[in-house]
Amino acid sequence: MSGHSARALAASVASGAVSAAEVVEEYLGRIDEREHEVHAFNLVTADAARAAAEQIDRRVAAGETIGPLAGVPIALKDNLCTRGVATTCSSKILEGWIPPYDATVVERLAAAGAIMVGKTNLDEFAMGSSTENSAFGPTRNPLDLDRVPGGSSGGSAAAVAAGFAPLSLGSDTGGSIRQPAALCGVVGMKPSYGTVSRYGLIAFASSLDQIGPFSRDVADSALLFETIAGHDGRDSTSIPAPLEPITPRLDRGVDGLRVGVVSELAGGTLEGFQPEVLAQTRRAAEALAAAGAVVADVSVPSTIYGLSAYYVIAPAEASSNLARYDGVRYGHREPGRANTAAMMTASRTRGFGAEVKRRIMLGTYGLSAGYHDAFYGKAQRVRTLIIRDFERAYRDFDVLLSPTSPCVAFPFGAKADPLTMYLNDVATIPSNLAGHPAISVPFGTGEDGMPVGVQVMAPMLGEPVMYQVAAELERASTDGTGA
């Protein structure tokens, strides 16, 4: 069962061919076998998963209709609030905090019949590209334990890659779903901003954060996206318009679709892209052309400034969002201090890790009097340029193509310098700044046989055509085109 798709598992459970209890036990067994070496989870919720499985089996026996994810195990990034279950953001400042409510996506998963098997590890407060910044230790890439799984949703990517769950959820602020998906050889997707509710997602940068799926194949990704997407009145940025169904488009192929290969990201304009990664992206473009797509290079000039703009905007929003962790209302509090200011300073100093402190200080500086216009204001203007450049590109193309990550999974400690680490997100950040959807699909291998991810980007609310192209890429890769 562990090799089956989420779709097949759900169908088997709903029909009574296999019990949810059997499915859960098999996946918990896989977690028992390898979790000690991978460390995908901050918490494994085995007892709760067994209880949920028993309830689903009783409903099946009673003839009830179960949702589209009936009995399917799922792992949740540990920045998604889960009622009665610790949610830490992999930070000491929230260690042991138990939310009194569920995130909207958690409610929707339960309604669909999915079963949570654990909360996954991440870079603290989702700030990182390797999951080395977790306060509870790093996650290891299941394909090579000496390499990182990517980040910040490294635990969620590793959980799917290791077979601990057929599905998982992560969050993507600058590439934190797509980049670890590429490094772990799974499918990872960031939705259009506002299509998935952020209610119950602990905020990093509110204008950039989005929740999205990890899976082993594109069809499972589409199913999970359809399950969690939709309007939510508790999120003021939630889009009220209904979503077009995705799954019916997966078998349409790409004949006549226009695919633009972003020259700044796939042509070596920016430094740091491994030759093998660029080569696989070109092979992916050739595979789409062979399947009938019209493929050509396209320039999106301002994408080269995306990284700089992001590392002003995101830290500024983080500085504001993380001000609430003061040791007073919830979270870690350092005792025995002379006054409130000393207690808050000590609590935040001990509770936050080095990368989180770095970004809070960057953001506070960028918002400070005398520097706001020079940094934050200018970064927002660059963001507008990126949106306009994408709009121009989408007049001529239905989707855009690029590498997901400049490199394959790298060894632990190889990118200790923060600026070197930040460059991992150079291809993914532009979609976050624009608010557009993007998906990473495994396509061949690169250095040392590690997987390469190819990114398909689409205009706002362009998930249907994006998934249509992603499915064709997956077919081409399975056929051996991505070698």
The catalytic site residues sit at: 77, 152, 176
Closest C-alpha to 332, from 359, 350, 356, 320: 350
CA distance 97 to 409: 32
Distance CA 421, CA 258 (A): 33
Q: Which of 232, 170, 174, 222 is nearest to 201 (CA)?
A: 170
Burial of 289 (0-12, 13-18, 19+ CB in 10 A): middle
From the list 50, 82, 51, 55, the residue with the least C-alpha distance to 66 is 55
Phi then psi for residue 471, to 5 deg, are -65, -35
Helix ranges restricted to H, 71-177? 104-111, 154-161
Burial class (CB in 10 A: 0-12, 13-18, 19+), 16: exposed
Amino acid occupying residue 333? R
DSSP label of 299:
-
User: How far is the C-alpha of 351 from the C-alpha of 329, rounded, in Å?
Assistant: 14
Element (H, E) at 90: none
Q: How far apart are CA 89 and CA 126, in angstroms?
A: 7
**Tokens standing for residue 419:** 């600026």
Residue with tokens 């996946």: 27
The CA distances from residue 290 to 256, 333, 354, 458, in Å, are 11, 60, 48, 20
| DSSP-H helix ranges across 203-274 | 218-228, 263-266
Collapsing DSSP to helix, strand or coil, 399 comes out as: strand
